[in-house]
Copies of this chain bind each other. A is one copy, B any other.
Amino acid sequence: MEQRIDRIKKQLHSQSYKLTPQREATVRVLLENEKDHLSAEDVYLLVKEKAPEIGLATVYRTLELLNELEVVDKINFGDGVSRYDLRKEGADHFHHHLVCIECGSVDEIQEDLLGDVEKVVESNWNFKIKDHRLTFHGVCHRCLEQEKKDEEHTGKETNEA
């Protein structure tokens, strides 16, 4: 973790930005919650535990800065809030997401599933791909298992499309 903070610090310095205590606290929160998809408000509340005097605006400014530096990716699952996702170091593509329409959970897929698709798009549509966003909406494995259990126990029928 310290290494990654150090790396980010250097990245900031290289563009003559500073790693202030507030920024460091924000980055730490992101690192500690790498698996989640925190909104700015979420980050704010978590950072406040470490640095109670921080303002929401500073969190927004920091997240925007980290987004410009490509340390985090800003994503939007259509629920009206932006979420910030730490970019994997060395990852050459943006990971994919599985959004559960039942429990709201968001899981990540690190594998690159789009290699072939991108080749097709670039040649058939003459489009130079720089980035992609792929999100599947459906039912996660936890909810599927839960439903299966519910069926076994109650024998009730479920509606399936």
- Residues facing B in A125-154 (CB within 8 A) are 125-141, 144
Q: Which of A128, A130, A134, A139 has the most CB of B within 10 A?
A: A128
Q: Count identical subunits in the complex.
A: 2
Which residues on A are within 8 Å of B, measured CB to CB? 74-76, 78, 82, 98, 101, 107, 109, 113-114, 116-118, 120-121, 125-141, 144, 161
Considering the complex, give the chain B residue whose CB is closest to the CB of A139. B128
Q: How far is the CB of A131 from chain B (nearest CB, A)?
A: 4
Q: Is the contact region of chain A dominated by helix, strand, or loop, or is it mixed?
A: strand
Q: Are A131 and B136 in contact (CB under 8 A)?
A: yes
B113 touches A121 (CB 8 A): yes
Contact of A76 among B76, B117, B128, B139 (CB under 8 A): B76
Residues on B with C-beta less than 8 A from A127 are: 98, 107, 136, 138-141, 144
Q: Which residue of the partner chain, among B130, B131, B132, B136, contacts A132 with CB atoms under 8 Å?
A: B136
Complex Cα–Cα for A125 and B106 (A): 13
Are B121 and A136 touching (Cβ within 8 A)?
yes
Q: Do B137 and A125 have beta carbons less than 8 Å apart?
A: no
Which of the residues B113, B133, B136 comes within 8 Å of A137, measured between beta carbons? B133
Q: How far is the CA of A126 from the CA of B133 in the complex (A)?
A: 21
CA distance A138 to B131 in the complex (A): 6
Given contacts A74-B78, A78-B76, A133-B135, whether A141 and B114 have CB atoms under 8 Å apart is: no
Q: Is the CB of B137 within 8 A of A134?
A: no
